[in-house]
Structures are given as structure tokens and as C-alpha cells.
Amino acid sequence: MNILIIEDDQRVAELIQRGLTEQGFAPTLAYDGLSGRKLALSNSYELIITDIILPKLDGLDLCREIRRAKPDMPIIMLTALGTTDDKVEGFDAGADDYLVKPFEMRELAARIRALLKRNSKTSHTAVFVLRFDDLEMNLHTKIVKRGENEINLTPKEFKLLEYMMRNSERVLSRVEIAEKVWDTHFDTGTNFIDVYINYLRKKVDKDFEKKLIHTKSGMGFILKAE
């Protein structure tokens, strides 16, 4: 598996490279955002790992550019910035997962395998239009509509809504959402899942009398027509 690592700290980059090589991956290094962008857009990789704070082009803008050119590319962000706002910003830029430094190589390898496995399953699915009540999601065009109204979602909002639509009328805990949508363990000290649920509510339910996204106190969230 070819993996691109974009990290300006040479020592950290080489540690990650060595650790992933030992895990059976084939990593390539880039030490700034512009070099990383050039490699990412001109070569074939199964997954990209990038820091946020990078010289020449920061990781958030880099992630957005990669996501526009290669919408299905799995991207993991590595950073020392670990607040809820930082994570939300990373996910909004298009990251699939977010790992805060310092981290263990085993955890990074596990996150990589989970993303690659999920990406493989998604690419082979036969269903490309999901519907619930008057809500419709096209997985190919990435267009979401409620009735005749098109809804503009960020990549992570799209994935969260997709998971809720695939599991409609079932209560989804924060732990399940964290593991299935973000491929991470839920940190009770952060509220990023609640933040994204609120984002979805404003876009999916705000202008409609019938609400679809509901909170079950102490249990989680559910997509149902009510």
C-alpha cells in the first residue's frame, strides 16, 4: 500500500516512515505543503497522512485541494492541535480521521487499516442513492436534496448523514458514530459529534416543519420522520 506522508519535522516524518515500513506499507515523504500537493496530485496513493502546520501550504488548504481533485482519497491529519474546534476544522477541510500528537505507531497503523478497509467496501457498494422520507442522497454526485431543495454539506457532514440514512430509525450512540464515521474512539472530553449533529439539523431540518434528526437523551441520535 503506497502512502504519502507530509510532515515538516524530519525526525517525526522518518519515524513514521520507518514504523509504517515495518507494518508492511510503502511510505513516501514530503516536507512541505507544496511538495506534498505535487506528489499527491501527480501520483497514485492509497492514503495520505498530513500535518496541519506546514511550510509553503498549510495542511487544511492542502487537504481541501486534494479532496477536490481526489474526492475518495482517504486522508488522516496528524497535529498537536487537539481541541474540538481544531478537529471540526480538520474534518471540514475534508480529513477522514484526526490523530493528535504524540501518538503510538500501532494506533496510526490501525487507523490506516480501518480507513483502507472502509474505502474498499464503499467503492464496491451497489447502492448509490439513499432515500429516507423526503431526503435523498446521491453517493456518486454527492448531491443531497430534501424535497426540491438542494443541501450543501461538507465532506464530514455528508459522511455523518450517510451513516444516519443507512441506519435510519435506529438510535446511534456517540461511541458508534465516532467509530463508524470518524474511525476513532469517542473522547468524552470533546463534543465534536454534537457539533456536527447541530450542523446537520440547521441544514436538513431548519426550514421544514417535519423534523428528521432527533436526540435521545443519554443515548444518542436517531433519524426518523416525526
Q: Which long-range contacts (CB under 8 A, 24 or more apart) does 16-24 make?
A: 16/49, 16/78, 16/105, 16/108, 19/105, 19/108, 19/109, 20/105, 20/108, 20/109, 20/112, 23/105, 23/109
pLDDT band at 120 (very low <50, low <70, confident <90, very high): low
Residue 220, phi-psi category: left (phi > 0), alpha (psi -120 to 50), beta (remainder): left
* Mean model confidence pLDDT for the chain: 86
Q: What is the pLDDT of residue 199?
A: 94
Q: Which pTM does this prediction carry?
A: 0.60
Mapping DSSP onto H, E and C, the string for the chain reads: CEEEEECCCHHHHHHHHHHHHHCCCEEEEECCHHHHHHHHHHCCCCEEEEECCCCCCCHHHHHHHHHHHCCCCCEEEEECCCCHHHHHHHHHHCCCEEEECCCCHHHHHHHHHHHHHHHHHHHCCCCCEEEECCEEEECCCCCEEECCEEECCCHHHHHHHHHHHHCCCCCECHHHHHHHHCCCCCCCCCCHHHHHHHHHHHHHCCCCCCCCEEEECCCEEEECCC
Q: What is the pLDDT of residue 69?
A: 82
Identity of the residue numbered 67: R
Domains for the chain: give ranges and CATH numbers: 2-123 (3.40.50.2300), 129-223 (1.10.10.10)
Region 71-92 average pLDDT: 81
* 179-189 pLDDT, tens digit each: 888 776 656 55
- Between 54-58, 134-138, 164-168, 180-184, the lowest mean confidence (pLDDT) is in 180-184
Q: What is the pLDDT of residue 125?
A: 45
